[in-house]
Each structure stands twice: as structure tokens, then as C-alpha cells.
Structure 1
Amino acid sequence: MTLAPNKGPDPPPADITRRLLALRDDVMAHWMVMARREVRGARHLPEPLLADTLPAFYDNLAKTLTPGYPRALATEHNNAASQHGGERARLTPYGPEQVIHEYQLFRAAIYEMAAVDGIALDAAQRARIEAAIDTAQREAIREFSAIHEDLRRKLAATLSHDMLSPLATIVSGAELIGLATDVTAARRTGRRILENGQRLGHMIAQLLDALTVTGVDRVPLEPSAFDIRLLMRTVCEEFSAQQVEIAIEGEPVEGWWDFAQLQRALENLVRNAVKYGDGSQVTIRSATTHGRLTLSVHNTGNPIAADRFEHIFAYLHRENVVPAEGYGIGLSFVKSVAESHGGSIVVDSSSVAGTTFLIDVPIDCRPFTGG
């Protein structure tokens, strides 16, 4: 899986890049063994969840070792690292220490497997790898912390609103008992206090489970088995009347997802690609890696600034690039659909490569949705 679309005047890959790309699966397999052995909480994670967006990061890392490649670091023009941290916050029992430990082991896996394969990395190449992994760690931890902070804010806001009613009953009941002269009435009020206290406890338990175990902003799913090419063709037909050509590329992939929700998400991405592109072809592409489906939509045109990557997924946000109808909830919905499937939405945008939005989800989402 690579986030850089196959377009743009990229230089021919250097020998070091070709060899490292060929080594990716070996590096990932070695890293998974180390992670399951050494990272607390990683042992029982399913392979698609453990792999996450690291194959994409690895591909970009290998490409930056080609002289003249338009990215100085693997983290430039994409948010794969922050999405890695986001998935770890939503879907694993990790703390920040485990996220950092994963990247440390990932670096070790690269060096160890390169040595086994006889790949000699010079000082400049090692420095580029080190800089990219250090930057990826910071971006992942920043997103990890932001999601947990968001959980705390949502929990506090919900508590302050939904808990007021039983709390008011408890307070007023206690005041009535303090004034009561009739034991029967006091007992009746006491039962109301007990019932509302139990209700309050149940509400808190439900909220804690919903916000800290199953994640935030989850879309209800009804997974079914189908070939992703069917969904891609269905979406392509929806846009057949557009003047912009919609092309389909990639391999057939049989999996378990929610057809209707994934269709809506893909339609949103294609609609944005048509709206904000330069009128050239929009490409929908499917691929698989380590038990995960990557479903991408690519267009050419003005790139999205890197400092806007996270903002464009915010609820009710809309880029003021051209006048457009809508309420700006499309990308927020796409993000929720991807996360509800146990995955992420990644954006990769530059003037050289164009813009790619990539839905990265497990091939079988049922273990992550309870479906």
C-alpha cells in the first residue's frame, strides 16, 4: 500500500529504494513478531489492526531515499502517522509509551532486515530514516493525545447535560428527607434517591463504555460480504452524467463491510474530487495489504495545505476554495465511517502528486464492530 499516487514526474527509483520496497513484507513480519513480544497490549491485536498505516509509511520512507524524490521526509504531504496514532487511541489499550515503543521497534526492524538482505545504508540514508521516524512519532503522539482529550471533553459535556436530571432528583429528595416528619414519606423519597442514584451510575457506565471502549462518533454498521469492485462500479455509475471521467483501477477484493455506509463515504470523496479537481480524470483505486483494504480517490488540481489536513475532517468544516452547496459534513462522515469499520481516512496532497483520499480499513470489519 502506498499513499503516493502513480502520477507526477517522480524520478526513477534508486536501487536502495527498489530493494527496500521489495523487503517491505519481511520488515512488517519481523516488526509484528517484535511488537507482539515486547509492546504491552499488542500480543492479541488482529494483524490488520496491528499493521495499521505502517506499510504506507514504509513505502514513502523507501521512496525518499531516491535522490531528487519530491518529499524530503516520508511524513510530508500525508497524515499517515497521525492516523496511526488515532487508530491506536480509538482501537487499542495503548498508552503513549506503547506508540513510541512501536516506532522504535519499527526502526530496528528496518535496520535488521536490511542487514540480513545485505542492504548497506549510508550515513545520509540512515539520517533520513531517523528523521522520518522521529517526526512520525511526534505526529502519532499528537493525534493520540488529541483523541483522548476529545474523549474527555465529550464525556464532560455529556455528563454535565444528561446527568442533571437524576442529580436534581437526588438533591431535592435529600432536602425533603431533611424536612420530613413522616417516616413513610421519607422512605418513599429515599427509594427515589436510590433509584436515581442507580440510574446515574448506569448512565455513567454506558458513557464510559461508549466513549472509551468502542470509540467516538461511530456509525452503526450492518456488515455483509461483497466484492469492493461492485461498490466502486455502483459509485461510478452515480457520476456517469458528470463531465469529469471517473476511472476504476485495482484488484477485486472480497470482504465484509457495510455496503450502504461505505457507498455514501466513497460518493462523498468522489464528489469532492470532482468539485475541487481541475477537471481531469478522477480515479478510484482498490488494493490490499496485511488484511486491510485501501480504497482511494485521486484527483489533480490545487493541493490541500498540510496544516489543513486535520481541519478538513472537522464537523461542519468546508474549505473555501470555490463556492459550493452543502454543510461541510461530508469528510467528517467519511472519517466516521472509516473509523467505525476499524480503520482510518488518510489524505495525501501535493502539487506534484495531486490529492488522494484513502479509506484504509480491515478486509473483515466484523471483529471491530461486533457485527
Structure 2
Amino acid sequence: MTTPSPHADNERLVEELRAAIAARDEFIAIAAHELRNPMTPIVGQVQLLLSRARREQASPALLQGLELLEQAVDHYVHRATTLLEITRLNAEHVRLELTTFDLCDLVRDCARKYEQLAARAGSTLHCDLRPPVNGTWDRLATEQILDNLVSNAIRYGDGKPVSIHLESDPEWAMVRVVDHGIGVAPADRERIFQRFERASGARSGGFGIGLWLSSKLVQAQGGVLELESEPGSGSTFSVRLPRDVSAHVKIG
């Protein structure tokens, strides 16, 4: 009778662990997807009620309650989306789900979503768009990139204006998110793109995965994420994406 070698046992254990991790990630991805999708009509209904309440000049208490509800639902959707994207990145190959859409519409939706957060921070959010910018991208991944960059700009923007600029040429689209806040020290400019890392002196909460996740999702779509910053003078995060991702990356 042949006794299995320690090397064979180790290989078997590694394969079992890989299978277990893959099964875990698949379960988390399904759970995140199922938790996120039903929230879409709820978000729409909350926004509709809030718009009506403002139009009809409802009481300040009712308006505040609806705004807090909108914020809570947005945070829920954001967390579910982040979880979904992390499980996608944990796979050996990120599976892109490409659709053709106008990036201007997505930027407007993102700005609209964060208007209240900017107002609470004492800031304003401005869009500089040159529509249309049609292209083929992974919509969920691109939405997550914008969400992370805009929310960070508001969070670290020191209450000053935040702007989103969208430019394009026949081959590429460029989104720049600009704030005038605390900025990023030179020593932190590479580190903050790593998982679970945040800039030195950052007072805001979070797990430090937003920029790591954004950079990975940009790279998965054949793009580049760059940072220009000076401490005390703000930051500019620039996302450069090909207009047709399928022509730049291997799909499937």
C-alpha cells in the first residue's frame, strides 16, 4: 500500500482551500447581488417622496427624516456594491459585464446622489460635462469608481467646492474629480492605493479599501487612475478609460 507523500497532501489541502474560498466568494457575491437589487425601487421611491416634500414645502422635521432615510439607503447600497466588487476582484479573472451607455448620464447620477452629503459637509458639487460621451464599459464597476472618488473628495475636501470634469476624444474618456481640501502628502501617494490603507492624518472613518478597489476596477477596464495633490491645496484624481473596453482587455 502506497502512503501519500507530504507534498501530495499539501497539494490536496491547497486545492481544498481554493475550492472553499471560491465557494465563499460565490456565496457572498450572490448574497450581495440579491441584497442590492431590491433596493433600487426603494431608492427611487425615497427620492420621489423627498422631491415631493420639498416641492410642497413640508415641515423641516419631515424633510430631515426623509433626507436621513435617503442617506441610510444610499449607504446600504454602497456597502452592498463594494462587497460585490471585492468578490469579483478576488476571482482569478474579473468578469466584466459590458454595456454601451453615456458616461455623462452616470456622472450626473453620481453627482445627484452626493449633493446632500456635500451640503452637509458645507461643500458644493459641480459637474463640467461635454455630452455625449458614449462608450462600452462595465457600468457597475464604473459607478463604483465614481462613487469612491466623489465621496472621498467630499470627505477630505474641507468643506470647499468639489468638481467633476468629463472630457473625451475618439479613443478615451477622462474623468477628473477635484477637491481643494487637505491634500495627500508625497509619502502617502502610492500607499493609499493599497488595501486597508488611508492617508496619514485622515480623521474620517472607513476601512481604507475605496481607492484600492477603484484602482483595480480601472485597471480591469484597461484604464489608468492617477493622483495629483499638494498638502493643504487639494487633490485631483483622474480616471482614463478606453471608450471601448473590449478592444483593450480580454473578456471572459
Task: Report the TM-score when normalising by structure 2.
Answer: 0.59
Equivalent of 1:240 in 108, 115, 120: 115
Greater Rg by CA? 1
Preserved CA contact (<8 Å) 1:246 1:282 = yes
Report the secondary structure of 1:239's partner residue. Answer: helix
Q: Distance in 2 between matches of 1:303 and 1:217?
A: 34
Q: Distance in 2 between matches of 1:353 and 1:316?
A: 24
Corresponding residue number in structure 2 for 1:334: 214
**Structure richer in strand, relative to its length:** 2
What CA deviation, in whole Å up to 9, does each residue of 1:11-43 have, x standing for no partner? xxxxxxxxxxxxxxxxxxxxxxxxxxxxxxxxx
5+ unaligned residues in a row in structure 2: which ranges? 16-90
Please tell me the residue identity of whatever aligns with 1:293.
A
Give 1:219 deviation, angstroms: 3.7
In structure 2, do the counterparts of structure 1 residues 218 and 277 end up closer, same or farther at CA, with 3 Å as the change threshold?
farther
Q: Distance in 1 between matches of 2:110 and 2:10?
A: 53
Corresponding residue number in structure 2 for 1:313: 193
Corresponding residue number in structure 2 for 1:57: none
5 Å matches for 1:204-243? 219-242=94-117, 243=119
Equivalent of 1:266 in 123, 146, 162: 146
Preserved CA contact (<8 Å) 1:219 1:336 = no
Task: Report the TM-score when normalising by structure 1.
Answer: 0.41
What CA deviation, in whole Å up to 9, does each residue of 1:95-127 have, x standing for no partner? xxxxxxxxxxxxxxxxxxxxxxxxxxxxxxxxx
In structure 2, do the counterparts of structure 1 residues 166 and 344 end up closer, same or farther at CA, with 3 Å as the change threshold?
farther
Q: Distance in 1 between matches of 2:140 and 2:241?
A: 15
In structure 2, do the counterparts of structure 1 residues 218 and 310 end up closer, same or farther at CA, with 3 Å as the change threshold?
farther
CA RMSD of aligned residues (A): 2.7
Calculate percent identity across the aligned residue pairs: 28
What CA deviation, in whole Å up to 9, does each residue of 1:273-329 have, x standing for no partner? 011112111111111246111111000022212232111100110124343222100
Equivalent of 1:359 in 239, 244, 248: 239
**Greater relative contact order (Cα < 8 A, sep 6+):** 1
How many residues are matched? 165
Report the secondary structure of 1:241's partner residue. Answer: helix
Q: Distance in 2 between matches of 1:227 and 1:304?
A: 31
In structure 2, do the counterparts of structure 1 residues 311 and 300 end up closer, same or farther at CA, with 3 Å as the change threshold?
same
Preserved CA contact (<8 Å) 1:269 1:331 = yes
